[in-house]
Structure 1
Amino acid sequence: MTWFSLLVLIPLAAVVVKAAGGGWATFQETLTNPQTLAALRLTVATSLVVTALNMVMGTVIAWVLVRDRFWGRRVLDVVIDIPFALPTIVAGLVLLSLYGAESPLGVDVANTRASVFLAIAFVTLPFIVRTVQPVLEELERDVEEAAASLGATPATTFRRVVLPALVPAIFAGAALSFARGISEYGSLVLLSGNLPNRTEVTSVRVLTYLEGGNAAGAAALATIMLVVALLAIVALDMTQRRVSRRA
């Protein structure tokens, strides 16, 4: 508990105290700033959409890695972890090289909102895959075979037998994915261009406050993002529990 407090609780409390030092006026000024509001909306909305997409595609990828056998499967299993291993600024350079003005693919999304979506999706996809994959590996196939022998279709077997077991892992990965998405910085700075009211995200906005000497404003925005992350995690946990009970 002492170690957890030193690493997490005390730093978080320091940010909240710093923000509270300026009173409610600091939060009000931060929340009513049009540029900050635009960054908040873009960050949260994009992270929500990416998380929803990751819940589907991450589960599909985990299923393929566990249940299918094909040439190159082990290579794909290693490649999934690359966004974890790459420094975020290097990830931004890779994305800029592939999807920037000199893209060898002919796809240029630099300085657009699509670049924010792409960067967040790149760094968050492994969270769902790596939380679902171990659960799939440990699932016994006997129940699925019994369901099939009783006449259940593959879709019904997945929906009634497999999916309920995967729901906790999927939502746990979704919480991690969303939390990483709203906090992402390095992979975005090169590709998105950080254009105010267009492609600027909250992490960049916090840095702007700090560079402008407004530490209280930066702490207030950081506190707001902490609350957003907490609410999202609680909502995902409640949804996961409700879905599990119904299953």
Structure 2
Amino acid sequence: MSVSADSLKAWEGFWADAPEGEGAVFWDAPPALAAQLHLPLFADHFQAGLPLVDVGCGNGTQTRYLAGRYRGVHGVDLSAAAVERARSADPAGRAGYEQADAADEAAMERLHGRLGDCDVYLRGVLHQAPEPDRPRIVRGIAALTGGRGRVFAVELAEAAKPVLMGLAQRPQGPPAKLLPVLTHGIVPGEVSDAALPRLFREAGLTVLADGELPLATTEFEADGSRLALPSKWLVAGHVTVAQVV
């Protein structure tokens, strides 16, 4: 089963209308404040030689960074407009990009059939997906990791919700980069702190590490400091008895 038609329409519209260039959208933080900070959290879990798939790659900012650290990096996104942006921003072809719906388990199994077991980077995807799609996305990722791959996931924590609500309801209106997200019907949702690991366990994966850290955005506070939202992260994968012992 794929994501809803409304979700697909919202994301295509958002990326078709979004300004060009890195940092132009709300979550497109520079890699130094995103993937580079996350790398030490998953580096010891990802297996050298496996392809790495950036699920929900958007315009590919983090994908291109990861391609400088891993071989065989692929960015996939639900939106064809996002994938086109990612390709255009990577003329050297450091990574591969394609449209794919992570909630479509059959599509993820086909991708696994082409690439083999993969490590997966998942940044801020689940909390922006409708609740019924979240288990399907995680099951699709579980299919992509196979027996050897691992997934690093980072999502907004419960504590981020009141911050976002406050921004959306400001008297002067939402911040300039948050407004297009809301007007396209992409409402940053809530994945409870307890639900995040549960989604992965219910997909048959074992949580191997977890923690919390701020998730940087491209907006700034009144004092000039960068707006960062509370987030939770985890590393998960299929673990056999042999791997445990």
- The answer, yes or no, to whether TM exceeds 0.5 is no
TM-score (norm 2): 0.21
Higher helix share: 1
TM-score (norm 1): 0.21
Higher strand share: 2
| Structure of larger gyration radius | 1
